[in-house]
Amino acid sequence: MTLAHSTATAGGNPGRPARAVIGALFIDMQNVRAKYECLRCRTVEGPVYGTDAVTAFVADIRTTHPTRCTGLQEPRP
């Protein structure tokens, strides 16, 4: 594992522990858009715009991103 010297400054949700994927979901209710930043692979998904797109995005991103996350190669002990 390589240790990047960057400090993650994600505005997290303290009361919601991440499961498989560590990422930050940003939802902008004013402009009706959402994006997801994966803290493992540094990929930003989105943003998507519009109520339907945002709703689907928020509902699915935690399950769909891991399927293409390049930082999710968990080493087998």
Contact criterion met (CB below 8 Å) for 48 and 57: yes
Residues 40 and 22: beta-carbon distance below 8 Å: yes
Among 34, 38, 48, 61, binds Zn ion (CB under 5 A): 38
- Tokens describing residue 37: 């930043």
Q: Least CB distance from residue 51 to Zn ion, whole Å? A: 25
Which positions from 50 through 69 interact with Zn ion, judged by CB under 5 A? 69
Which is closer to Zn ion, CB of 54 or CB of 69? 69
Nearest distance, CB of residue 56 and Zn ion, angstroms = 19
**64 and 18 in contact (C-beta within 8 Å)?**
no
- Residue in this structure with the two tokens 């505005």, named with its chain if needed: 11
Query: Which of 24, 32, 41, 53 is close enough to bind Zn ion by CB under 5 A?
Result: 41
CB of 30 to Zn ion, least distance (A): 26
